[in-house]
Amino acid sequence: MATVEERAESGGSGVSDEMLRGFFREMLLIRRFEEKVEERFRAGELPGFLHVAIGQEATATGVCAALAREDVIASTHRAHGHAIAKGTPVDRIMAELYGKKEGCSGGFGGSMHLYDVEVGLLGANAVVAGGIPGIVGSALAFQLKGEQRVAVAFFGDGATNAGTFHESLNLGQLWKVPAVFVLENNGWAESTPTVQHSPLPVDELGKRALAYGMKLIEVDGQDVELVYLAALASREHALSGKGPVLLHLRTNRLTGHYVGDPQVYRDKEELKRERETRDPIELLRARLELSDEELAAVDSEVTAEVEAAVEFAKAGTDPDPEDALKWVYA
């Protein structure tokens, strides 16, 4: 029997249609959530600023589906999808974006600092690569306590140039902690393309793992089935005591860096082509051969869920100004 890893590398098999339909629903939920927050942000309802992950739904869904509830993740500034996929209810994320007490961080965090410790979300991080060392530490704690749990860090290609990334991979592999480092490589560090930020070609960034003697697993990040299988294999490897995995997922940011980004730096034709050929939701829809009726049924369900989240958030409670000082110290 082929190992999960071999199945992932050979193009995937053994994921039931039922499971794929579940992935489809979640990815569409993330998409509709992101579109809704863009809309509400443009309407001036959401404070701060936002980064949406339109185009990157398969990485969040596929990876988190392979994790156990007690596994933990650290996310990035582009966090909504990770939080949804790890199990934070959309209404609590939406309430956070509205700055309400009912938010998953109680209104203290905002879009870039989503936390939900109960489901293993140890924080979205607004410092690129800032969450990676903490994941090594969580994994070290699991190792020391003899717990069968993994810790997972999400980050983008831009983060692979940061010292924290390299120091963390080095230390994580040295101590063989049960961690998975998920590189969501969308080819852009904000507005800077990989060719301007890395001496390696964009598709070869995963090679950085090899410098640390670390297991590298690479699959197309727009294929949720492959992502899921690769994440399962990564988790298995991380728990085997052989050290972490760098899971390199090539993905596409089908939108700007932040909501409102005019993307003057981006080739419009190229973006159009990516939208037509690399949308993970469209790819999965084709794979599942969903009819228009089936699609419409799922869509109305998740759209209603998102609408309800907006209502929940708007009806939420504003924190008292003095609450600001509540959590400075434990």
Site residues for other proteins per CB under 8 A: 103-109, 113, 115-118, 122-123, 125, 127, 130-142, 144-145, 151, 163-164, 167-168, 170-171, 174-175, 326-330
> Are the C-beta atoms of residues 278 and 286 closer than 8 Å to each other?
no
CB of 168 to other proteins, least distance (A): 5
**Which residue number, 264 or 325, has a Cβ lying nearer to other proteins?**
325
**Which residue number, 8 or 177, has a Cβ lying nearer to other proteins?**
177
**C-alpha span between 26 and 4 (Å, rounded):** 23
> Are the C-beta atoms of residues 93 and 58 closer than 8 Å to each other?
no
CB of 196 to other proteins, least distance (A): 23
Q: From its phi and psi, is residue 121 left (phi > 0), alpha (psi between -120 and 50) or beta?
A: beta
Amino acid at 106: G
**Which residue number, 146 or 199, has a Cβ lying nearer to other proteins?**
146
**Which residue number, 110 or 280, has a Cβ lying nearer to other proteins?**
110
CB of 141 to other proteins, least distance (A): 3
**Which residue number, 137 or 193, has a Cβ lying nearer to other proteins?**
137
Burial class (CB within 10 angstroms; exposed 0-12, middle 13-18, buried 19+) of 278 = middle
CB of 278 to other proteins, least distance (A): 33
CB of 96 to other proteins, least distance (A): 9
What letter would DSSP give residue 116?
Answer: B
**C-alpha span between 86 and 73 (Å, rounded):** 8
The residue written with tokens 């309430």 in the block is 95
Query: How far does CA 282 lie from the centroid of its chain?
Result: 19
Q: List Cα–Cα distances, 23 to 62, 121, 186, 225, in angstroms.
A: 7, 19, 20, 9
Evaluated on CA atoms 13, 15, 21, 23, the torsion sign reads negative
Nearest CA among 42, 17, 12 for reference residue 285: 17
Tokens found for residue 26? 């979640």
The residue written with tokens 């670390």 in the block is 214
**Which residue number, 24 or 142, has a Cβ lying nearer to other proteins?**
142
**Which residue number, 133 or 193, has a Cβ lying nearer to other proteins?**
133
CB of 152 to other proteins, least distance (A): 12
**Which residue number, 117 or 211, has a Cβ lying nearer to other proteins?**
117
Task: Using only the alpha carbons of the chain, give its radius of gyration.
Answer: 19
CB of 146 to other proteins, least distance (A): 11
CB of 140 to other proteins, least distance (A): 5
